[in-house]
Amino acid sequence: MIRLVGILVGLGFTLVVLLAFVTGAYTAATDDAAETADHVFHLAPKEDVSYAFEGPVGHWDIAQLQRGYKVYKEVCSACHSLNLVAFRNLAGLGYSEAQIKAEAASWQVPGIDPDTGENVSRPGEPTDYFPSPYPNDVAAKAANGGKAPPDLSLITKAREEGTHYVHSLLTGYRDPATFALSNGESLTEEFPDYEVPPGTYFNPYFPALAIGMPPPLTSAGQVTYDDGMDASIDQMATDVSAFLTWTAEPMLIKRKQTGWPVLGFLLLATLLAWFAKKQVWAPVKPRKD
């Protein structure tokens, strides 16, 4: 009798769980999810900027990469590291050996005093990697509201539409009180209670609409280009986006250049195989049933 009661109780419990699961699944499948501000007003990266390295026959614009490096050095390096890139890699931007040595020496990198063994800072050498602006992750988090700024070495590979994402993000800071989509939808009209969280900045190209990084490019002429190019905010964002694409994929152009001979070889091999097949099977006549 006790065993029968236990079986009935178990079956009843199972039916209740199954009913709750089916009901929840049906509700989730049929009910419309409540729209949120970040769902409606989050924008995909703009693609209105063209880069020389795009397309099957793209190439690096060396002048642009050098300008982008200067933007990184004078603006982005205050918070963001580039720890997968060594100073010697700057040879890919057209710098000579002497220029690379001078550039490396203009940076302070962590070192060790050979006499005392204490941690010190010393001028960089071509074999050194770009230093982090913070001594460790704890210091980076403490200086940035609890979240360390990401390393930028591979940032364009880590984000969808990476190059355009970086450009859009840098130029995308807006006032939420006046922000509206191209179709006229206003953020404040659709979501009157929306507020930017304290310590963050409104940017519709960031997934949560609010980003902890203050606008890094604040005014034209913030960086003085050596080649005399007008340093507008859009130009600086374009140049540093191109530079970060190079840091993430320094072999991008060489890979494209290698691809064309490979495609040509495959085409030739296909033609040779087709002619060989015709030659081998030429004496063989089709059977008539």
The percentage of residues in the chain with a pLDDT greater than 70, rounded to a whole number, is 90
pTM of the model: 0.83
* pLDDT (tens digit per residue) in 155-189: 999 999 999 999 999 999 999 999 999 899 999 99
- At residue 121, what are phi and psi to the nearest 5 degrees? -110, 145
- Give the Cα-Cα-Cα angle 74, 75, 78 (nearest 5 degrees): 95
Cα 209 off chain centre by: 17
* pLDDT (tens digit per residue) in 187-232: 999 999 999 999 999 999 998 899 999 999 999 999 999 999 999 9
Domain 38-85+146-253 - what CATH class? mainly alpha
Residue 80 annotated as part of some ligand binding site: yes
Residue 79 annotated as part of some ligand binding site: yes
Residue 164 annotated as part of some ligand binding site: no
Residue 187 has which token pair? Answer: 């953020």
Average pLDDT over residues 106-118: 88
Residue 213 annotated as part of some ligand binding site: yes
3-state secondary structure of 210: strand
What per-residue confidence (pLDDT) applies to 117?
82
Contacts of 168 (CB under 8 A, 6+ apart): 43, 45, 46, 205
The closest alpha carbon to 234, from 253, 249, 217, belongs to 217
